[in-house]
Structure 1
Amino acid sequence: MNQAKRIEILTRLRAENPHPTTELEYSSSFELLIAVLLSAQATDVGVNKATRNLFPIARTPAAMLALGLDGVKHHIKTIGLFNTKAENVIKTCQILVDQYGGEVPENREALEALPGVGRKTANVVLNTAFGWPTIAVDTHIYRVSNRTKFAPGKNVDQVEKKLLKVVPAEFKVDVHHWLILHGRYTCIARKPRCGSCIIEDLCEYKDKTE
């Protein structure tokens, strides 16, 4: 795909959704971190359902620690892998209290060192909470990037590197959200909704649907 086409795709996505953001519900960088940590192999809808009861009583790392492992498990038991995730939440909160004064560090290495937080989660937090031009590649972004030929790659790391290279600076902060939402609602996995897609004429996917 040539760069002129990419810029037109991004321009259309921006026109349709000028201020995109995550569908996870949060009111602080800490809540966002926990929500993203819980969202691995789970839907945003499922995570939101759990955190609506969890966050009002545990808005800080200290409050989450006071709730205890069993308390966290009780609130997130509807989410997949909740036992492991609850342990990671407690360990992460302990580190935030001990090393960062209860604040979420605006630092990639520090974030990636937290239990249950990988590169993708760190990218989401840096982008959404702190406005960094990072691009977290999830299954939706991976699929859309490859299917449209916008930024093809054999794995998520390759796609991330390609996106960081080809997306102009003015679009970088928001492209993560545009591509996720496009993959979630239009360019869906089994049968993309090409007929209602605003970038269908620019997309280079060969097996378009009606």
Structure 2
Amino acid sequence: MNKQKRREILERLRNENPHPTTELNFTSPFELLIAVLLSAQATDVSVNKAMAKMFPVANTPQAVWNLGVDGVKDYIKTIGLFNTKAVNVIKTCRMLLDLHDGEVPENRAALEALPGVGRKTANVVLNTAFGWPTIAVDTHIDRVSNRTGFAKGDTVVKVEEKLLKVVPAEFKVDVHHWLILHGRYTCVARKPRCGSCIIEDLCEFKDKTE
């Protein structure tokens, strides 16, 4: 895909949604960190429902730590992998308290050192909480990038590297939100909704649907 076509795709996505953000509900970097940590292999809707009950009770590292593993489990038992996630949440809170004065660090290495936080989660937090031009590649972004021809790669890291290379600076802060939403609602996995896609004429996918 050439530079001009990529730019047109990004401009159309921006025109449709000038101020995109995550569909996870949060009011602080800590709430975002916990929500993203819980969203692995789970839907944003399920995380939002659980956090709507937990955050009014506990939304700081100290308050969540005070809940303990069993207390956190009670709030997140509707979310996939909740046993492991509850342990990671508590360990993360302890590390934030011990190493970062209870604050979420604006630092990739420090974020990735937290239990249950990988590169993708760190990218989301750095981007959405702190405005970094990072691109968190999930299954939706991987699919959209490869299917459209926008940024091909056989691993999520390679897709991320390609996106960082080909996306102009002015779009970098918002591009991962646009691509996630496009993959979630239009360029869906089994049968993409090409007929209602605003970039259908620019997309290089060969097996388009009506």
TM bracket (short chain): over 0.9
Q: Which structure 2 residue ranges, 5 or more long, are not aligned?
A: none
Aligned length: 210
1:161-172 equivalences under 5 Å are 161-172=161-172
Hey, what does 1:190 align to over in structure 2? 190
One-letter amino acid of the counterpart of residue 92, structure 2: T
Q: SS state of the match for residue 36, structure 1? A: helix
Task: Using the TM superposition, give the Cα deviation of residue 45 of structure 1 relative to its aligned residue in structure 2, in angstroms.
Answer: 0.4
Segments ≥4 residues shifted beyond 2 Å: none
Q: Which structure 1 residue ranges, 5 or more long, are not aligned?
A: none
Hey, what does 1:33 align to over in structure 2? 33
Q: Deviations over 1:101-126 (max 9, x none)?
A: 10000000000000000000000000
What is the distance in 1 between the residues matched to 2:89 and 2:10?
Answer: 35
Hey, what does 1:139 align to over in structure 2? 139
Q: Deviations over 1:6-50 (max 9, x none)?
A: 000000000000000000000000000000000000000011010
Hey, what does 1:87 align to over in structure 2? 87
Hey, what does 1:153 align to over in structure 2? 153
Task: Using the TM superposition, give the Cα deviation of residue 180 of structure 1 relative to its aligned residue in structure 2, in angstroms.
Answer: 0.1
What is the distance in 2 between the residues matched to 1:56 and 1:66?
Answer: 14
Task: Using the TM superposition, give the Cα deviation of residue 148 of structure 1 relative to its aligned residue in structure 2, in angstroms.
Answer: 0.1
Taking only aligned residues, the RMSD between alpha carbons, in angstroms, comes to 0.3
Hey, what does 1:201 align to over in structure 2? 201
Hey, what does 2:47 align to over in structure 1? 47
Hey, what does 1:3 align to over in structure 2? 3
What is the distance in 1 between the residues matched to 2:153 and 2:12?
Answer: 23
One-letter amino acid of the counterpart of residue 53, structure 1: K
What is the distance in 1 between the residues matched to 2:127 and 2:56?
Answer: 24
Matched, 1:70 2:31: no
What is the distance in 1 between the residues matched to 2:160 and 2:99?
Answer: 30
One-letter amino acid of the counterpart of residue 122, structure 1: A
What is the distance in 2 between the residues matched to 1:111 and 1:59?
Answer: 18
One-letter amino acid of the counterpart of residue 42, structure 1: A
Task: Using the TM superposition, give the Cα deviation of residue 94 of structure 1 relative to its aligned residue in structure 2, in angstroms.
Answer: 0.2
Task: Using the TM superposition, give the Cα deviation of residue 59 of structure 1 relative to its aligned residue in structure 2, in angstroms.
Answer: 1.2
Q: SS state of the match for residue 106, structure 1? A: coil
Hey, what does 1:175 align to over in structure 2? 175
Hey, what does 1:57 align to over in structure 2? 57
Task: Using the TM superposition, give the Cα deviation of residue 205 of structure 1 relative to its aligned residue in structure 2, in angstroms.
Answer: 0.1
Q: SS state of the match for residue 56, structure 1? A: coil
Task: Using the TM superposition, give the Cα deviation of residue 173 of structure 1 relative to its aligned residue in structure 2, in angstroms.
Answer: 0.1
What is the distance in 2 between the residues matched to 1:192 and 1:158?
Answer: 23
Q: SS state of the match for residue 57, structure 1? A: coil
One-letter amino acid of the counterpart of residue 67, structure 2: L
What is the distance in 2 between the residues matched to 1:55 and 1:3?
Answer: 43
Task: Using the TM superposition, give the Cα deviation of residue 144 of structure 1 relative to its aligned residue in structure 2, in angstroms.
Answer: 0.1
Task: Using the TM superposition, give the Cα deviation of residue 155 of structure 1 relative to its aligned residue in structure 2, in angstroms.
Answer: 0.5
